[in-house]
Amino acid sequence: MNDDRDAYCRDIETYLCRKNDGHLIRIVGPAFEQVCGWAARGIPLKIVYRGIDRCFERYYAKGPRRRPVRVEFCEADVLDVFDEWRRAVGVTAAGDTDADSHPRASLPAHLERVVARLTMLRGGGDRASLDAILDEIVRELDAARAGSKGIRGERREALLERLRELDRTLVDAARSASASTLLERLAAEADEQLAPFRPRMTSDVWARSREACIDRLVREHFQLPTIAFD
| pLDDT single digits (tens) 154-185 | 888 998 999 999 999 999 999 999 999 999 99
96 within some domain: no
Share of the chain above pLDDT 70, in %: 89
The number of domains in the chain is 2
Residue 189 is assigned to a structural domain of this protein? yes
| Shared domain check, 138 and 80 | no
Task: Clarify whether residues 120 and 23 are in a common domain.
Answer: no
Shared domain check, 81 and 185: no
Both 190 and 84 in one domain: the answer is: no
3-state secondary structure the chain: CHHHHHHHHHHHHHHHHHHCCCCCCCCCCHHHHHHHHHHHCCCCHHHHHHHHHHHHHHHHHCCCCCCCCCHHHHHHHHHHHHHHHHHHHCCCCCCCCCCCCCCCCCHHHHHHHHHHHHHHHCCCHHHHHHHHHHHHHHHHHHHHHHCCCCCCHHHHHHHHHHHHHHHHHHHHHHHHHCCHHHHHHHHHHHHHHHHHHHHHCCHHHHHHHHHHHHHHHHHHHHCCCCCCCC
Average of pLDDT values for 21-34? 88
pLDDT band at 101 (very low <50, low <70, confident <90, very high): very low
Residues 109-162: tens digit of each pLDDT: 888 888 888 888 876 666 778 889 999 999 999 888 887 777 888 888 998 999
Domain range for 187 is 107-222
Residue 63 lies in a domain: yes
Q: So what's the pLDDT on residue 100?
A: 44
pLDDT given for residue 99 in this prediction: 40
Residue 229: the pLDDT is 87
Decide if pLDDT at 97 tops 70.
Answer: no
Whether residue 31 is found in the same domain as residue 137: no
- Quote the CA–CA distance of 115 and 142 in Å, as a whole number: 7
* One domain, residues 47 and 115: no
Verify that 59 and 115 share a domain, yes or no. Answer: no
Identify whether 100 is part of a domain. no
- Domain stops at, among 63, 89, 115: 89
